[in-house]
Amino acid sequence: MLAATALLVFLVEPAESNRLTYSVLTLYTIYSTVIFALSVRRSDLIPAQYMHWFDMVWYLGLIALTSGTTSIFYNFFFFAILVASFGWGYKAGLRLTLTSAFLFTIVAALTGPQWPAFEMNRLMLRVMLLLILGFLISRWGGYKINLRNRLQLLKDVTVFSNPRFGIDRAINAVLESLRAFYNADSALLLVLAKGGAGSYQMYRIRLGSHATGGSPPVIEAEAAALLLMPSSNYAVIHRETGRDRTMLFDINTRQFLLGDSSVSDRVANALETTSYLSVPVHNRNGPIGRLYLNGGPHRFDNSTMDFVLHFMDHVTPLIENIRLVDSLASDAAEQERQRIARDIHDSVIQPYVGLQLGIAALAQKLRAGKTDVIDNVEELLDLTNQELIEMRRYVWGLRAGEERRDVLLPAIQRFVTRFASVTGIKVDVKASGKIQVNDRLAAELFQIVAEGLSNVRRHALCDEARVELTCESGRVLLRIKNPRPDGNGDLGFSSEEQRDRRNLFTPRSIAERTAMLGGETRVSIDDNNYTVVTVKVPL
């Protein structure tokens, strides 16, 4: 559009143009049309990261042909700077700005009117304007890309924080993602160990290492004391040089203070680095450790510190959720082992005890000289065959491919019992009719219930919840309910407004899991002012 508009302007007002200008401008219009066609087709022939440099060369050529300092093509530089800044970041935009200003000065000086007709003031004004506006555009473009990358990082953290990976692997993956984002030499997380009397787990990821699920080392509080300095109310930025080498940021007052460089130097020596960023890590119960980003080419500043604090506020609830799910899964596995043990005792051992008693009675009868034992032998044989059939049925029921259709409701009831004891949230489970689903569907519905109750724990200020299950019309209907914190029945809305508020805040993970099952998810507010997550899955 720029090329075509410029060509139209020169056709209408050809005062400053000549045949060579028309030729170059026509070639640039054709070039732009080809680039546009290739971009629409998503062609790989376009070197997108260099296109703004090609445009700058075209503009310099057009400026050289059209009066130098007074050329209208000077304004085209800003469009190229926009593309570079909002497409590739602050540094790309600033490089193009400086190069454009330098080359424009040379071209304008060589092709403009000669002295004394040369307009030095116009040249200086245009160069200054190009530098100032180019810097501002580059700054905002880089800020936009930085925000986009930060949002992508927060999104990736949610993917990494999968309970199936285990707590250690999830934390290591999050640390590696944060380290790579800032290109730091290493990232270290010192977090209070579970069940340890003041002991800490130390997760550390280095440049070039691979995040694994290995268990981190546990260090005692005395050894961790240096890395826990200063108090949990302060974040720290330590640099290698400068008068303000160590800056403390008070999280409560949001003010910066000058820190003790001698203490920071000791920490830096312990971490084998020259610069680092350190922020405290909190959960709902208080401080639990500190996070360090060490070294690298990135200069840690106030913006970095604010984002890392926000990042940890986002990550800590996810880690708590993984710990809870991991604990619940471990307890569920233990309960399942106990159930299997009870089933083996009742279904296998007890019948064999009966067989043992029958054989003992048969042996006593033979010792007494009684030979009419054929009926007793046939009874024992029949009993053995029956118990063998039951044993085979039980073993087949334990196999992964067997579709047990009565496992969902007991599994949910065991889960909510443990959930209530851990979180203090009372969960009422109700089932209407007979709930019979296969193992795979039961596992998915169980995960939906676990995720829904986890959302209640994290986002709803309540101490109760409800889980309702129904099988009707060839589908499973699952509802997870919790009271809204305001407690107002109609919320002050009219009936029409109430209807407009029925579809709200659909949980993404639950909706995606339900969609994979061919079902649908809906979030609404019922007449009792309960938030209701409704999941419908076809059988």
CATH code: domain of residue 430: 3.30.565.10
What are the residues facing 289 on neighbouring strands? Answer: 191, 281
Domain count, the chain: 4
Same-domain pairing of 9 and 145: yes
Same-domain pairing of 515 and 495: yes
CA distance 139 to 136: 5
The answer as to whether 342 is a domain residue is yes
Same-domain pairing of 203 and 142: no
Do residues 55 and 92 touch, judged by C-beta distance below 8 A?
no
Cβ atoms within 10 A of the Cβ of 416, count? 21
Task: Mark out the alpha helices in 112-214 (DSSP H runs).
Answer: 120-160, 167-182
The answer as to whether 365 is a domain residue is yes
The answer as to whether 26 is a domain residue is yes
Count of alpha carbons within 13 Å of 165, Cβ hemisphere only?
21
Same-domain pairing of 15 and 70: yes
End-of-domain residue from the set 281, 297, 319: 319
Same-domain pairing of 172 and 309: yes
Q: What is the pLDDT of residue 101?
A: 93
The answer as to whether 157 is a domain residue is no
Same-domain pairing of 171 and 314: yes
Contacts of 191 (CB under 8 A, 6+ apart): 171, 200, 201, 203, 281, 288, 289
Same-domain pairing of 88 and 173: no
Do residues 46 and 38 touch, judged by C-beta distance below 8 A?
yes
Domain holding 381, by residue range, is: 326-398
Contacts of 200 (CB under 8 A, 6+ apart): 190, 191, 192, 193, 218, 219, 220, 221, 224, 289
User: Which CATH number is 257's domain given?
Assistant: 3.30.450.40
Report mean pLDDT in 10-residue bins for the chain, 539 residues. Answer: 82 67 87 88 80 90 80 88 92 94 89 71 89 94 90 79 68 87 89 73 82 72 84 87 81 84 87 89 83 86 85 83 72 65 58 70 80 77 69 61 62 79 81 74 81 80 88 84 65 41 65 83 87 87
Same-domain pairing of 229 and 354: no
End-of-domain residue from the set 351, 380, 398: 398
The answer as to whether 160 is a domain residue is no
Same-domain pairing of 84 and 182: no
Same-domain pairing of 136 and 12: yes
The answer as to whether 161 is a domain residue is no
The answer as to whether 500 is a domain residue is yes
Same-domain pairing of 17 and 118: yes
The answer as to whether 115 is a domain residue is yes
Do residues 291 and 308 touch, judged by C-beta distance below 8 A?
yes
End-of-domain residue from the set 283, 303, 319: 319
Same-domain pairing of 122 and 261: no
